[in-house]
Amino acid sequence: MKKIAVLLLLLSIFLTSCGNVAPKKTEIFAMDTFMQLQVWGDETLLSEATARIYELESAFSVTRENSELFLLNQKGRGALSAHGTSLLSQAIVLSERSEGAFDPTVYPFVRAWGFTEQTQGVPSSKTLDALFPFVGTEHVHANENTVTLDEGTMLDFGGIAKGYAAQSCAELLQDAQAALLVLGGNIQTVGTKPDGSDWNIGIADPKNSSQAIAKLRFQGSMAVVTSGGYERFFEENGKQYHHILDPKTGYPVQNELASVTVLAQNGVLADAFSTALFVMGLEKASEFWRASDDFEVVFILNDGSIFATEGAASLLYDCEFTVIER
């Protein structure tokens, strides 16, 4: 009996001390956004994860001269790295699954609005009309790592690269005890914290993004990715224009949604679909979710109301919401 009591005491001291283990943290600016990485356990993995993010940034940047994506867009043909090949093939599959709501060939439109340029502005409808023939994944021809783009077609991984980076880092961090990666609107958890407590993830209030409008709590590894018009926009003649474009019109999406948060095991899918579901709007996105089994969603509407699919609803707290049923 005495032995058991001593063992229990030792176990509780051990668990308490584990709980106090602070993660090793770093903050960086990459992929055009602030990122915070925290690792519990094998801390050497933190610098490996940071290096991986910089490596992917220099491969996938659409504006940095000499990035493999920049060169491919410029020359219309090129060889991609193993990461580039993997990301492009996943981007095409997810684009087809979302019936083009997510489309990595949207770049001619993104450029026309100036979202990756120094200055932004509303392009004429004539300018946009002239770009339609270049948009669509049928203009991308990939043969293993060699890619050919039809004349005028250009790729943009802006809607998916952070998800790929998070996914890639999560794989690299498998041997850490736990990790939390905040890559702008992309959050990736890995494992369980030493004290066994839940991950607590806030969903930004689209009207005041430094505050949470809702919170999620759960255990284990998960990608939680938010797309919102509030994340990047400009104003012209008193009207706001944001960076998520409907590939079928060339214009910023205008519907009832202020943000979409996708939860999934796969970070690339979560990122592509956060963009895609925002484009689809609440009703179509809910139907899309009903026909799928590999992600859950929290929708924040422009009026501040919250809708959550069944699986996401079970993780939400500190807010009122309507459940979207199967």
Residues lying near ligand AMP in the complex (CB under 6 A)? 102-104, 106, 110, 115, 156, 158-159, 227, 231-232, 243-245, 247, 271, 274-275, 279
Q: What share of the chain is helix, strand, coil (3-state, %, to 5)?
A: 35, 30, 35
Any idea what the Cα angle at residue 130 is, between residues 227 and 281, rounded to 5°? Answer: 25
Is 103 among the residues that bind Mg ion (CB under 5 A)? no
Q: Between 41 and 267, whose beta carbon lies closer to ligand AMP?
A: 267
Q: Between 92 and 130, whose beta carbon lies closer to Mg ion?
A: 92
Contact 142, 149 (CB under 8 A): no
Is 159 among the residues that bind Mg ion (CB under 5 A)? yes
Q: Between 35 and 279, whose beta carbon lies closer to ligand AMP?
A: 279
d(CA 165, CA 168): 5
Is 274 among the residues that bind Mg ion (CB under 5 A)? yes
Q: Between 158 and 191, whose beta carbon lies closer to ligand AMP?
A: 158
302: how many CB neighbours lie within 10 A of its CB? Answer: 14
239, exposed or middle or buried, with CB in 10 Å at 0-12, 13-18, 19+?
A: exposed
Residues 212-231 interacting with Mg ion (rule: CB under 5 A): 227
Is 271 among the residues that bind Mg ion (CB under 5 A)? yes
Contact stretch for Mg ion (CB under 5 A) within 10-18, 159-167, 168-176, 212-220: 159-167
d(CA 100, CA 94): 8
B/e letters for 117-135, b = 16+ CB within 10 Å, e = fewer, are eeebebbeeeebeebeebb
**Tokens encoding 199:** 């991950």
Residue 247 binds: one of ligand AMP, Mg ion, none (C-beta under 5 to 8 A by kind): ligand AMP
Q: Between 83 and 193, whose beta carbon lies closer to ligand AMP?
A: 83
Q: How far is CA 76 from the centre of its chain?
A: 27
Residues 275-294 interacting with Mg ion (rule: CB under 5 A): 275
- The least CB distance from residue 259 to ligand AMP, in Å, is 10
Q: How far is CA 46 from the centre of its chain?
A: 20
Q: Between 40 and 157, whose beta carbon lies closer to ligand AMP?
A: 157
Contact stretch for Mg ion (CB under 5 A) within 2-10, 64-72, 265-273, 293-301: 265-273
Which residues bind to Mg ion, rule: CB under 5 A? Answer: 159, 227, 271, 274-275
